Structure formats: C-alpha cells, structure tokens
Structure 1
Amino acid sequence: MALLNSQARQASADRAWAAISRFYEHCNNKKPGKKGYPRFQHDNRSVEYKTTGWKLEPDGKHLTFTDGCGIGTLRLVGNEKQSVATFPVQQIKRVRIVKRADGYYCQFCVQAQRRIEHSPTGRAVGIDLGLNAYYVDSDGNTVENPRHYRKAEQRLKRLHRRLSKKQKGSANRKKARKQLAKAYLKVSRQREDFARKTANALVTSHDLIAYEDLKIRDMVRNRHLSKSISDASWGTFLQWVKYYATVHAIPAIAVPPQFTSQDCSGCGTRVKKSLSVRTHICPACGLVLDRDENAAVNILHAGLCILFLMAFAGTLGHRGTSESSENASGQSAATRRSPRRKASKWAG
C-alpha cells in the first residue's frame, strides 16, 4: 500500500468518505427504507489514479504506471474509433483499473462536453414500464421484454450446483467460480446494452419524454415480482433515458405514478381495477383501451401539464423582476420567454 501513488490512495479515501457522507445525509433527510450503510471491502477490485502515477504512450495503445506498485506497461485493446488517444492528455482526469470476471479493464475519465444536435420530430411520448412488455408508449407501440436473467436462469443454476460440489480451496473450485462469475457478467452486460440502446432509440425519435417516477426499491419487496422487476432493470433504463435527454437537450419529465392505470385517459373518470385486468373499459365515456397504453397516455398528459407549469412559474418569476433589464443570471426578458412558447406548442 505504501508503494501506491498518493493520489490513488487519496481517491480510495474519497470514495470511503463519500459513502459515509451519503449514509448520514440519508439519515438526516429521513429517507425511507435502507439508508445505504457503507460496506467496506478488504480487497478492492479497482484502483484509481488521478493526474499522476501514469503515462499514456503517444500511440494511445500502451499505458505505463510509474509508481512503485510494479504494474508496469499495459497494452490497451479496444475500439480504435473510441480510442482515448483522440483526447489531449490534459483532458484525462482519472484512470481506473477494474478487475472483471473475464479480465482487467482500464477506464478513463475525460473532461469533455458532449452535445448532440437533436433533429426535431414534433413528437411527445409517455411510457409505461411493465413486465409483460418492457414498456408501452402513448402511441400504442410496445417494446418486448428481453428477460435476460430468465433465459440464463437454468444455466446459472447448473453452474451453482457444479460449484457446490467442488472441494473448497481446490483449483477446480476456482475454475467453477470463475465460470459462474462470467455467466453473471454476461447477463449484466446484456441488460446494460439493451437499456442503453433502447433509451437512445427512444430519445432520438421524440422531443419530449414523460415517465413514471417509480420507487423501484420498494417494488422489489414484492416476493412474487422481485425477480422479474430486477431482471427488467428499469432503473438502468431510466438513467440512460435521462442521460440521453440531457445530451440531446430535450425534456425528460418524471410523473407521479399514482392512479395512472386507474384514471381514464379520455374523460378522467377513475375506474378501479386489479392488476389482472389488462383492458381499460370506461363506463362514463365508453373508451376501451389496453391498460398499459391508457396509463402511458395519462403519463404523457401529466408530463405536459408539469412542463407547462414549470414554464408558467418561470414566466411569473420573470414578471416579478421586470423592473430591471436583466435578472441575477444576466438573462434578458427575451431569453426567459422562450420556454413558455415551447410549452404552449406541446399543450396544443
């Protein structure tokens, strides 16, 4: 440990203090459920360097660690289009070595602004996440649930049985444990890849996205649905939706999930139904619609209302400071009225 670069040791301490601070912050804010008590591990699977202790060769294919740990020079293998050599060395702020089940990986944290020129489509959408279908949108389109874990479950059980039969401490047990870890890693990567590609396709084809602000941590407490909810990986998908929405500079609005499936999207009448009822039938207006599509339409309506209220509140704030030519951030009146015009277009 003494031979490790001082900034690498500091980065490890920073992560520990961040976990402790986050725990006490959750306690002070009285966050419901688990507070995230820090879990300190004896053996870490990663080491992180900041701006010293490493040197990237000019070809961008070799990385040399210059501290006393004896890591030496590593050959970088990856996609040449995403090579870190395309960035100036001054923009590389952190370098991390991570151990996975199938080998070692090098991660680079690069300081760069990513902005994608979004092509306007004039389309707004609400999505209702589910288990039968991954999600149903307000236009009636569905995305199939891939069920990565369910498809790999039999093989995982077989590998678990094989591991349990090996003698502890033997080389065969290490091999069996490595095979099991690789199988779990494959499922994890499949989930991540699907969530990322699906979120990217959703954002690039719409100008506004509304989704339910689900409490997934509370939902997985249902012992009948917990495995399926975890397999769907909704949290990862929503993280990518919010990320791509930020990159494309379009609004992604979280909507309270209460009564989105019960209220009629045609007239607003509350029609109570159990989870087993998959068709919405409104006795007031006669609307017959798939349950999830009805919820997606309600989510879109709620998202548009929230967007309009946010724009209206911003306009009121500007009116309160109309006596001066500029507000505290230096914006003029012309720049503050643009969000309201956008909101009125969506409301229409």
Structure 2
Amino acid sequence: MIVLEFKAYGKPKQYSAIDEAIRTAKFVRNSCIRYWMDNKGVGKLDLNKYCTVLAKQFPFANELNSMARQACAERAWSSIVRFYDNCKKKVPGKKGFPRFKKHCHSVEYKTTGWKLCPDKKSIVFSDKKGIGKLKLKGTWDLWHFDKKLIKRVRIVRRADGYYVQFCINTDINESVSATGTTIGLDVGLKDFYTDSNGNTVPNPRFYRKGEKRLKFYQRRVSRKNKGSANRKKAINKLGKTHLKISRQRVGEACAKRIEHAKILARCVVRSNDLVAYENLRINNMVKNHCLAKSINDAGWYQFRKWMEYFGNKFGKVTVAVNPAYTSQNCSNCGEVVKKSLSTRTHVCQCGCSLDRDHNAAINILERALSTAGHVGTLVLNDPNAWGDLASTVAGANLSQQVDSLNQESPSQSERGVSKLSD
C-alpha cells in the first residue's frame, strides 16, 4: 500500500463544503463513541449500523456519503480497540480511553462518493455536501494505477490549504542487489547519527532554527482578542510555521523541500544489507524536561519508521537492539568504562580511544549481529513491526497511517539521495 497526496484547488464555496463535511465526520465519530459508552457489548458492526440511524435522525449527517460515515465509525472503533489492547497488555499509566474529538481536520471516503476525471488531474465528490470538482496538483502520476486499486480517498485540511490523499493497493517491494556491508547507528543530539564506520551526519535542528519565528507568531496570537478575525489570521500564520517545521523534520514536504528523515533512511538502507539501531523509548526520554525539546527536534522516531519501511521494501534487515550499556562498554575488549553524558571520548585501558558515539555504534552493530545471525540469511523483519506505521493495511482507514502520509512514489527518482550517496 502507498499513499499519494495532491494539493486540492477549488472555490471558497467548495472549501466551505469541505469544512462542513469534516464537521459532520467529527459528529459521526463522536456519536459512535457516545453510543459505545452508553451500550455495553457494542461491536464494530453495531457502530456501522448506528451510522444509518444517525443519517435518519440528522439531515446533515445524511448528506455525507454512507461509506464516509462508515469510515468515521471505523475511526471510532480503532480508538476503542486500542484501549482494549492496552488494557489486555497492562500498559502502565493511562490506557487511552476513547475521547471525543474537539478538532478534526479530515474526512475519508471509501470506494464511493468520488470519481476521478478522465485526465486524472481532477476529482469530483458526488455526495450531497456540495464539494463538487477539485483540481489536483502534485508530483505523482495517477495514470500508473487502475481506479480499482484506489481503496480510500481522504480530504485533509491543513494550515496552508486542502489536500487529497489516495490510498493505493499496490506492491511496494523493489529488488536491490546485496552490498555485503553492515552498519550500526547511534543517534544523538550533537550529531543526528554516528555509524560504526565513524561517519557522522549533522543534526539539522529544524525546530531550534524556527523557534524564534514561532515565538514571534505566538506573541501575535496572544495579543489578539479571542474570537476576532485578526486572531484567526494570526493562528493561521502560526499553524503554517509549525507545518513547515514538521515537514522539514518528518519528510512530508514536496521534493523541493528538505525531506531529512526519509532521504537519510533510504540512503542508509539501500547502501547496507543490515542496519542496526537502538530500540529507544522516546516517550520515556522526553519526560526529561531539559532534553525533551532537543529530542523531539531530532526526529529519531520518524527516522526509525522510515528505516523499517525501506527495509521491508528493499528486502534488507533492520534490527532494533537494546541500548543498555552500548555507550559504557568498550567495543574492543568489552570492559565497562563508566562515563557521564558530558564525557564525549571513550578511553579504555586496552588502548582503545574513540568518540563516544562511534564506540556505541560499533557495540550496537555487534549486538545486532549476535541477534540476527549470519547476514547472508537476510532474515527479514516481521511486516507487522512496520505495517501499521508506514503503510495502509487493506480495508483499514487512513487514520492508521504514519505522521507523514505523503508516501514516496513507487517509482521514486533518486533526486536528493545522490547528495548523500557514498
């Protein structure tokens, strides 16, 4: 499965219709959550049936396509299932009890309620909301895919406009010749990562660079009167700034922008048969208020997801290892050399003297090789380890996608990647 995204252009009346469809989708989703709370033993099929009841009771809900209402029920059910799973697994802390959505930014259609124009440069939404025909602008070519392969269509509202996403059921695997090399990666705040060969990639620090501009727009928002038109304009400016930073970090932007995590992950996976990295618990690490901003700014989580995605696509091995003592143990003799975070050089009595991150990357690779066995076997990752994060499961809703839904094209060119090649 891949997700292709296009910028949508229409008239102000059409944008108002999209906003109304999004509000209706939020209403249906929240109503399904309320129905589940008030009725014990409600299942997924019961929520789908309840969508029909809502359509009969509320005329504005009946205006939304029936399959779009079912997609809203599926979103509600996915949050319920996640809560049940967390309870069964006895996840510590909050279990994620389903909550009502206050803000919603998308509406999702299945196989009906929309139609592509013959030139495949426009799309027509045929339900009673009055969205009509929207022009599509993007770098991907829909001519390569049959309409039957498009399983979902989603309209997303962002700070800089509206987007249409297509979920396409197609094979994403590509054959890449073996390189015979392995690599271990140690991510950090000083450098984005240091590999087992001693090479480093600088940390771009997108949020830090844009923080001054963010504070400027945040002050403008706070100075405006609540509910005023000027406050809405200031909020929109602030949202666009946040959107630009997130696109730079995650790789959700078009090819002309910096797709940091995606390009790095693709280059690393294609260049090696095995990639080892730390199995970091980001949620626990950001509880340190002194480092939380820097950790989130680095984008380690997005980088790992893209590595797992490309590892499955290219048939390469990606191994997440336990990070315990990878910085303390000597990569040469295995002796424990305790050091604080401020100590950036590893010096051992055996004569080994390396950069702290370089030493950790070597330990990460050795630990991965002892776990994965001989590299030539190419034991692939379990698809479930990345499928729900980086691709769409057949029949699943687009809300289960990664943060960056603008997936790469199946015939993605090597633009940008050549800058990082060896």
- Give the TM-score taking structure 1 as reference length: 0.86
Question: Given that residues 328 and 339 in structure 2 are in contact (C-alpha distance below 8 angstroms), is that contact kept between their aligned partners in structure 1?
Answer: yes
Correspondence for 2:89 among 29, 33, 36: 29
After TM superposition, which residue ranges in structure 1, 4 or more long, deviate above 4 angstroms? 309-312
Deviations 1:17-52 (A, max 9, x none): 111111221122012344333343144210110011
The 1:190/1:39 distance shift into structure 2, 3 A limit, reads farther
Question: Given that residues 83 and 95 in structure 2 are in contact (C-alpha distance below 8 angstroms), is that contact kept between their aligned partners in structure 1?
Answer: yes
Query: How far apart, CA to CA, are the structure 1 residues paired with 2:376 and 2:84?
Result: 35
- Trace 1:11-26 onto structure 2 (pairs within 5 A): 11-26=71-86
Q: Report what 1:61 is aligned to.
A: 121
Query: How far apart, CA to CA, are the structure 1 residues paired with 2:372 and 2:117?
Result: 49
Asked if 1:291 is matched to 2:349, the reply is: no
What is the deviation of 1:70? 0.8
Aligned pair count? Answer: 310
Correspondence for 1:240 among 282, 288, 306: 306
Alignment-mate amino acid for residue 126 of structure 2 = T
What is the deviation of 1:270? 1.0
Question: Given that residues 125 and 208 in structure 1 are in contact (C-alpha distance below 8 angstroms), is that contact kept between their aligned partners in structure 2?
Answer: yes
Deviations 1:204-234 (A, max 9, x none): 1111100010001000000110000011111
Question: Given that residues 199 and 237 in structure 1 are in contact (C-alpha distance below 8 angstroms), is that contact kept between their aligned partners in structure 2?
Answer: yes
Question: Given that residues 4 and 69 in structure 1 are in contact (C-alpha distance below 8 angstroms), is that contact kept between their aligned partners in structure 2?
Answer: yes
SS of the residue corresponding to residue 262 of structure 1 reads coil
Q: Report what 1:113 is aligned to.
A: 171
Q: Report what 1:187 is aligned to.
A: 245
Correspondence for 1:165 among 223, 239, 244: 223
Alignment-mate amino acid for residue 74 of structure 2 = D
Alignment-mate amino acid for residue 189 of structure 2 = L
Question: Given that residues 48 and 94 in structure 1 are in contact (C-alpha distance below 8 angstroms), is that contact kept between their aligned partners in structure 2?
Answer: yes
Instruction: Structure 1: state its 5+ residue gaps.
Output: 315-348
Alignment-mate amino acid for residue 223 of structure 2 = K
What is the deviation of 1:139? 0.3
Asked if 1:199 is matched to 2:259, the reply is: no
What is the deviation of 1:247? 0.5
Deviations 1:312-345 (A, max 9, x none): 9x9xxxxxxxxxxxxxxxxxxxxxxxxxxxxxxx
Correspondence for 1:48 among 78, 98, 108: 108
Deviations 1:90-135 (A, max 9, x none): 0000000000000000000000001222132211000001000000
**RMSD (Å), alpha carbons:** 1.6
Query: How far apart, CA to CA, are the structure 1 residues paired with 2:337 and 2:87?
Result: 38
Q: Report what 1:255 is aligned to.
A: 321
What is the deviation of 1:85? 3.0
Question: Given that residues 159 and 236 in structure 2 are in contact (C-alpha distance below 8 angstroms), is that contact kept between their aligned partners in structure 1?
Answer: yes
Query: How far apart, CA to CA, are the structure 2 residues paired with 1:31 and 1:19?
Result: 15
Q: Report what 1:279 is aligned to.
A: 345
What is the deviation of 1:170? 1.5
Question: Given that residues 274 and 375 in structure 2 are in contact (C-alpha distance below 8 angstroms), is that contact kept between their aligned partners in structure 1?
Answer: no
The 1:33/1:226 distance shift into structure 2, 3 A limit, reads farther
- Give the TM-score taking structure 2 as reference length: 0.71
Asked if 1:3 is matched to 2:63, the reply is: yes
Query: How far apart, CA to CA, are the structure 1 residues paired with 2:99 and 2:265?
Result: 31
Alignment-mate amino acid for residue 199 of structure 1 = A
Question: Given that residues 97 and 106 in structure 1 are in contact (C-alpha distance below 8 angstroms), is that contact kept between their aligned partners in structure 2?
Answer: yes
SS of the residue corresponding to residue 76 of structure 1 reads strand
Question: Given that residues 131 and 228 in structure 1 are in contact (C-alpha distance below 8 angstroms), is that contact kept between their aligned partners in structure 2?
Answer: yes
The 1:150/1:238 distance shift into structure 2, 3 A limit, reads same
Query: How far apart, CA to CA, are the structure 1 residues paired with 2:356 and 2:76?
Result: 45
Larger radius of gyration: 1
Deviations 1:37-94 (A, max 9, x none): 3343144210110011111111001101111111111111111xx1223210000000
If asked which structure has higher relative contact order (CA below 8 Å, sep 6+), I would say 2
What is the deviation of 1:309? 8.2
Query: How far apart, CA to CA, are the structure 2 residues paired with 1:156 and 1:244?
Result: 33
SS of the residue corresponding to residue 210 of structure 1 reads strand
Asked if 1:72 is matched to 2:132, the reply is: yes
Query: How far apart, CA to CA, are the structure 2 residues paired with 1:272 and 1:23?
Result: 41
Deviations 1:225-279 (A, max 9, x none): 0000011111111000000011010100010111100111001111111111111
Q: Report what 1:332 is aligned to.
A: none
